[in-house]
Structure 1
Amino acid sequence: MSVTATTTWAQTGKGLQGINDATSMVTSYFEPVTQLIFAVGAITGLVGGIKTFQKFSSGDPDVGKTAAAWFGSCIFLIVSATVLRSFFL
């Protein structure tokens, strides 16, 4: 009985260490991924600004819709990165 309890305790300790190692590895990736998402959001904003300006210059009637779509996508990227970071860290 005591041998079984000792074996079980040893396996639980290794499993807990593995979970802690995995957690630290995953949390170490959040800062670079967050910065990458912010960079993608900035590039998306620049591309959206250029596309919106092109539509505005050509006299396209749905400039507001295009601007709102690009602006919404940038806001979504920034908010999702912030929420994921605050949720997991």
Structure 2
Amino acid sequence: MDKRKKKSLLTGTMLLATTVLMAQGNGSAGINEATQMVTSYFDPATKLIYAIGAVVGLIGGVKVYNKFSSGDPDTGKTAGSWFGACIFLIVAATILRSFFL
């Protein structure tokens, strides 16, 4: 290669390296964008957990009603576990939301 081609190749390589280095920045923009993306998922996730809690509550209510109607002596234990599961889902969603946001 002659001197002129080497100089052009070196200049192009340096321009490309400079562009890549400037594009990287200090990384704070990427971290801020990732944080914004993660926090934007909390509202839909919280609503999903509440919906799952509602479905579990309905299913549990039907189970408790069936046991009560059939005269099963284990109705109180089933009702307690059903109620505890519903309360856990609501409290867990609220605590996770308040902890991360």
Please report the TM-score for the alignment, with normalisation by the length of structure 2.
0.74
SS of structure 2 residue aligned to 1:61: coil
Structure 2 unpaired stretches of 5+: 1-22
Percent identity, aligned pairs only, is 70
Superposition misfits of 4+ residues, deviation over 4 angstroms: none
Amino acid at match of 1:57: S
Give the match's secondary structure for 1:40: helix
Instruction: Return the alpha-carbon distance in structure 2 between the equivalents of residues 12 and 47 of structure 1.
Output: 53
Q: CA deviation at 1:58?
A: 0.5
Match of 2:61 among 34, 40, 49: 49
CA displacement at 1:12 relative to structure 2: 6.0
Alignment map for 1:55-74 (pairs within 5 Å): 55-74=67-86
Tell me which of the two structures has the higher relative contact order, counting C-alpha pairs closer than 8 angstroms and 6 or more residues apart: 1
Unmatched runs of 5 consecutive residues or more in structure 1: 1-9
The higher radius of gyration belongs to 2
The aligned counterpart of 2:99 is 87
